[in-house]
Amino acid sequence: MQIRIYYEDTDISGYVYHANYLKFCERARSELFFSNGLSPINGEFHFVVRKIIEADFLKSAKFGDLLNIKTTVLEIKGASIILLQQILRENELIFSARIILAHLKNDRVSKMDSKMVEFFKLFQNP
């Protein structure tokens, strides 16, 4: 998934505001669903970020940059998944995070059904 850096993404430093890299990761997660005809939220369930295990801000992106976001499923548990999300500018890694998402049903952590588990398996590395 590719995104462009606009005015709204930058701050007074001239570079991207740090929390926005997490927004870009969320966009990429949503696009995983959309590109498979699914949605990350519906009347029954949605996902929340439960934990950022670690996030590294390696380089600064700037206005006009085109960034690519790569999402890998590291682990699938019953009611949560662990993702590695990496943001690259061409071949340069500028941001990397490991994130735990929890699956909620009616606002309570809840086991994913087998269809959802199969979906996430698509993004596991061999």
Residues annotated catalytic, as ranges: 11
Q: Does residue 22 belong to the site contacting its own copies (CB under 8 A)?
A: yes
Cα distance between residue 120 and residue 92, in whole Å: 26
> Applying CB under 8 A, which part among 40-48, 72-80, 82-90, 115-123 lies near its own copies?
40-48
By CB under 8 A, residue 92 contacts its own copies: no
In terms of CB distance, is 17 or 124 closer to its own copies?
A: 17
Find the part of the chain contacting its own copies (CB under 8 A) among 51-59, 67-75, 81-89, 111-119. Answer: 51-59
From residue 18, alpha-carbon distances to 15, 88, 107, 122 in Å are 9, 15, 28, 29
Is residue 68 a contact residue for its own copies (CB under 8 A)?
A: no
DSSP state string for 5-34:
--GGGB-TTSBB-TTHHHHHHHHHHHHHHH
